[in-house]
Structure 1
Amino acid sequence: MVAPPWYEIPPPAYGGTEAVVARLIEGLQARGHEVMLVAAGRNGTGAEFAQTYPEPQHPCLGQVEIEVAHAVGAAGHIDGFEPDVVHDHTLVGPLTAPVRRAPTLVTAHLAPVGEAALCYRFIGGMAGLVSVSHAQQRVTSGIRWAGTAHNAVDPAQFPFRERKGDHVAFLGRMSADKGVHTAIAAARAAGHPIKIAGRCTRPEEIEYFEREIEPLLGPDAEYLGEPDTAAKVELLAGARCLLFPVHWEEPFGMVLIEAMACGTPVVALRRAAVAEIVEPGVSGLVCDTEEELPAAIREVGRLDPRDCRRRVSDHFDVGTMAAVYERHYLRLVRERSLSDTSR
C-alpha cells in the first residue's frame, strides 16, 4: 500500500486520501491479508511499515521533486517485500509499475482534468486504474478504467446522534470551488447559523478566505479553523445538516459519508458524485440550483437520522470497500498469471 507523502496514515486532521488508506488497511487485515504500508512520517496502522520521509511533507504539497523521491524510495521497499499486488495511491509512483513483477492497482483520488488527466490516461494503459466514483469517470474521455471502488468510513468512529442542534455545518478547505461563500449565503437566507471548519493554510486559501469569507462572518456565521478528528466529529454530529454546495467536479466527497455516519443529513448541489452518494429524500436533499438551498435547509429536519447512518452502513463502510478492492487484486493476479503462462 503506497500512500502519498503529504500526511501521516491516518491523518490527525486534513487528509481524505490518507484516511481512506488507513481504513482500507484495516479492512484488508480483517479479511486476512498481510499489508505493508509505504508512507512518510509515523505509522498509525497495524501494517508492516516502510518510511520514505521521517516527517510528512505537507509543507511542500504538490512539489514534483518530493513525489519523485517518494516514488523511488517506495520502489526500493516494494522490491524487498515481494508483494502479490501493489496498490498505489500516488500520481507519480505508478510510473514504476512496469519494472516489477507484481501487478499494480492505482486509485485515482484526483479529478481527471489537466495534467492529472494526462497522467491517468498513461497509467490506465499499464496498471489497473480505479475511480472513487462513477461520476469521476465521466469527467474526461480517453481514460482506461478498470472499475470503481467507493471510499468508505468506519461508522464506529463516527458516533450516531439523533438529536441535532439548530446550526448547519460546512467542512472543507477554504476554496471557491468548495462553495464556502454559497454555504454562508444559503444558511443566512434559511435563518440558521452556520459553523465553518476547514483547512486555510495555502496562499490561495488564505487569499480567498480574507477576500470572500472573512467579510461574511458574524454572529450567525462562525469560522472554527481546521479541526482535529474529535472536533470534526462533534461538528458533524451536532449539526442540523451538512452543507455541500460544491462548484467543481469533486471525485467523491468524504465529508458526505462522514456526516451521514453521524446521522446528519446532507443538503447539496447536484454536481459531481453527490447524487451517487446521497440518497435524495432519505439521507439528504439534493438541489439543482443555489436558490433551492435555503428551502432545503429548512425542510431537512424531517429526514430520519437513522436512515442517514444506514445509508453509510449499507454502501460506504470499510468492509464493503475492502471486498471491492480484494476483487480487483485477485483479477490483476489472475491476469498477470495468465500473461506469464502465455510467454
Structure 2
Amino acid sequence: MKIAMLNPPHRYGQDTSQWITVPPQGYGGIQWVVATLIDGLLAAGCEILLIGAPGSTVRPGLTVSAATTRAALSAFGPDVVHDHTNGQLLPAEPDWPAVRTHHLNGVPEHTANGIYLSHAQRRAAGSADAPVIRLPVNPDRYTYREEKEDFLLFLGRVSVHKGARDAAAFAEAAGLPLKLAGPAWEPDYLRGILTDYPGTAEYLGEVGGSHRTDLLAAAQALLVLSQPFGGPFGCEWIEPGATVVAEAAVSGTPVIATDNGCLAEIAPHVGTVVPVERTPTREEAAKILAGLPTPAYLRATAVERWGHQVIAAKYLEVYRRSLAGGTWT
C-alpha cells in the first residue's frame, strides 16, 4: 500500500532555521509517533511518502518531499493519506482517501474519518464510533535496562498541565532526586519548582538522542502526573495519548501516573495510577515504588500492546476501510 504521511511542519524550539524532524531532535511527541508508525508500515511492506518534515532521516521505502502538499501527493499517487497535522496540511475534502489522527485536546477541526489515541480523548471530541488506536513504540529505538539508578524522571513539557511540580513533590516524598527533562516555555513555573525543591529537582533542559533513551532506561520510575487544569489556551487538559508511557515501559521503566485522560487506560498495565492534586506521604510513596512491575514484564507488555508492528496492523485495517469508501465521524 502507498501511504502519504503528513507531519506537522513546526520549527524546532527557538531556532527558526530548523524544522522538527522525524524522528525529532528533542521534544516532539507527534514526530515520534509518525516515525514509529512509519517503522511499522515499512516492516509491513508499505511505501511511504513523508510530507512536512524537511531534514528527516530517509530510510529504505521512505521518501521525504519538500514540495507543496498537493504537488507532492499528485506525484506520489497515494492509496491513502494519513494526516497528523490536525488539518494544517490536509484540506477538508481531500482528493484521496484520507484518515486523520487527532493528537490534541478538544474537537478536531475536521472530524471526518478521525482516529483517536484514547477513549477519553474520543469522548471529549464528541465521537462515539471512530477508531481508537494507541500510540506505537519501536523497541529497537530504545535502550533496555534491568538495573536502575536512584532517580525519578519527568520527561515532557515543564508545565502545569503536565504535572512537573507534582513530580517534584512526589520525588521529595519518596526521598529520591528528580531529573526534569523537556522544554520549559514558562520560566517562572520552572523557577518555582527549582526554588521550592532545591535538594530534589534538577533541570536538564530539552534532551534528545541517546541522552533521552539513556534517561528513560536508567530511571527508577517515570512520573507522568498530568493534571486536568493549566492546559494550553486555558482549557481543561485531558491527556490524549502519552507516548512517553510506552517509551518508558519498553525501556524497562515503570510508570507512575495520574488518572487524567488516557493515563487511566494505559498506565495500569505498566505501573500504577495515583490521584490528581495529592502528594503522597513518605510511607505511601515508598509503597508505590515497591509495588511496581519488573523491567522484563514492562518491556514484554509494551511490545505486546503497543509495538510498532502491532499498531501498524491496526492502522492498515483502517486504511483499507477508508480505501473501500468507508466514512465515519
Aligned equivalents of 1:319, 1:96: Cα separation in 2: 29
Aligned equivalents of 1:156, 1:301: Cα separation in 2: 28
1:322 aligns with 2:312: yes
1:4 aligns with 2:19: no
- 1:236 counterpart letter in structure 2: L
Kept after mapping to 2: 8 A contact 1:13/1:227: yes
Kept after mapping to 2: 8 A contact 1:166/1:240: yes
1:194 and 1:312, CA in 2 relative to 1: closer, same or farther beyond 3 A? same
- 1:80 counterpart letter in structure 2: A
Aligned equivalents of 1:293, 1:145: Cα separation in 2: 42
- 1:293-312 deviation per Cα after TM superposition (whole angstroms, max 9, x unaligned): 75554232343111111120
For residue 168 of structure 1, report the CA deviation from its aligned partner. Answer: 0.9
Which of 188, 191, 199 is the matching residue for 1:207? 188
1:34 and 1:189, CA in 2 relative to 1: closer, same or farther beyond 3 A? same
Q: Which runs of 5+ in 1 are unaligned?
A: 53-72, 339-343
2:311 is paired with a residue whose SS is helix
Kept after mapping to 1: 8 A contact 2:143/2:217: yes
For residue 123 of structure 1, report the CA deviation from its aligned partner. Answer: 1.6
Aligned equivalents of 1:241, 1:296: Cα separation in 2: 15
Kept after mapping to 2: 8 A contact 1:241/1:297: no
Name the structure 1 match of 2:182.
Answer: 198
Which of 103, 107, 115 is the matching residue for 1:109? 103
Name the structure 2 match of 1:237.
Answer: 217
Kept after mapping to 1: 8 A contact 2:116/2:132: yes
1:15 and 1:293, CA in 2 relative to 1: closer, same or farther beyond 3 A? farther
- 1:272-308 deviation per Cα after TM superposition (whole angstroms, max 9, x unaligned): 111211235xx21211252347555423234311111
Q: Which runs of 4+ in 1 moved over 4 A?
A: 293-296
1:165 is paired with a residue whose SS is coil
1:36 and 1:215, CA in 2 relative to 1: closer, same or farther beyond 3 A? same
Aligned equivalents of 1:238, 1:139: Cα separation in 2: 35
What's the TM-score, normalizing by structure 2?
0.85
1:236 and 1:297, CA in 2 relative to 1: closer, same or farther beyond 3 A? farther
Which of 2, 12, 15 is the matching residue for 2:28? 15
Kept after mapping to 2: 8 A contact 1:167/1:195: yes
Aligned equivalents of 2:101, 2:256: Cα separation in 1: 27
- 1:84 counterpart letter in structure 2: D
Aligned equivalents of 1:297, 1:76: Cα separation in 2: 55
Q: Which runs of 5+ in 2 are unaligned?
A: 11-19, 229-237
Aligned equivalents of 1:284, 1:147: Cα separation in 2: 25
Name the structure 2 match of 1:153.
Answer: 137
Aligned equivalents of 1:293, 1:85: Cα separation in 2: 52
Which of 39, 44, 55 is the matching residue for 2:57? 44
Kept after mapping to 1: 8 A contact 2:54/2:65: no
- 1:32 counterpart letter in structure 2: G
Q: Which has the higher contact order (CA 8 A, sep 6+)?
A: 2
Which of 278, 283, 294 is the matching residue for 2:267? 278
Q: How many residues align?
A: 300
Aligned equivalents of 1:40, 1:305: Cα separation in 2: 34
Name the structure 1 match of 2:167.
Answer: 183
Kept after mapping to 1: 8 A contact 2:53/2:64: no
Kept after mapping to 2: 8 A contact 1:95/1:123: no
Aligned equivalents of 1:215, 1:50: Cα separation in 2: 46
1:85 aligns with 2:80: yes
Aligned equivalents of 1:188, 1:310: Cα separation in 2: 30
1:28 aligns with 2:41: yes
Name the structure 1 match of 2:113.
Answer: 128
1:93 and 1:223, CA in 2 relative to 1: closer, same or farther beyond 3 A? closer
- 1:218 counterpart letter in structure 2: P
2:279 is paired with a residue whose SS is helix
1:130 and 1:296, CA in 2 relative to 1: closer, same or farther beyond 3 A? farther
Greater helix proportion: 1
Relative to structure 2, which stretch is displaced further, 230-239 or 217-226? 217-226
Kept after mapping to 2: 8 A contact 1:97/1:104: no
Aligned equivalents of 2:188, 2:129: Cα separation in 1: 36
Kept after mapping to 1: 8 A contact 2:99/2:113: yes
Aligned equivalents of 1:296, 1:152: Cα separation in 2: 32
- 1:243-282 deviation per Cα after TM superposition (whole angstroms, max 9, x unaligned): 11110311011111111111111111111111211235xx
Give me the identity figure in percent: 34
For residue 316 of structure 1, report the CA deviation from its aligned partner. Answer: 0.8
- 1:112-142 deviation per Cα after TM superposition (whole angstroms, max 9, x unaligned): 2xxxx2xx2x522xx310001112112242x
Aligned equivalents of 2:141, 2:64: Cα separation in 1: 23
1:190 and 1:99, CA in 2 relative to 1: closer, same or farther beyond 3 A? closer
For residue 165 of structure 1, report the CA deviation from its aligned partner. Answer: 1.6
1:247 aligns with 2:227: yes
Name the structure 2 match of 1:60.
Answer: none
1:81 and 1:295, CA in 2 relative to 1: closer, same or farther beyond 3 A? farther
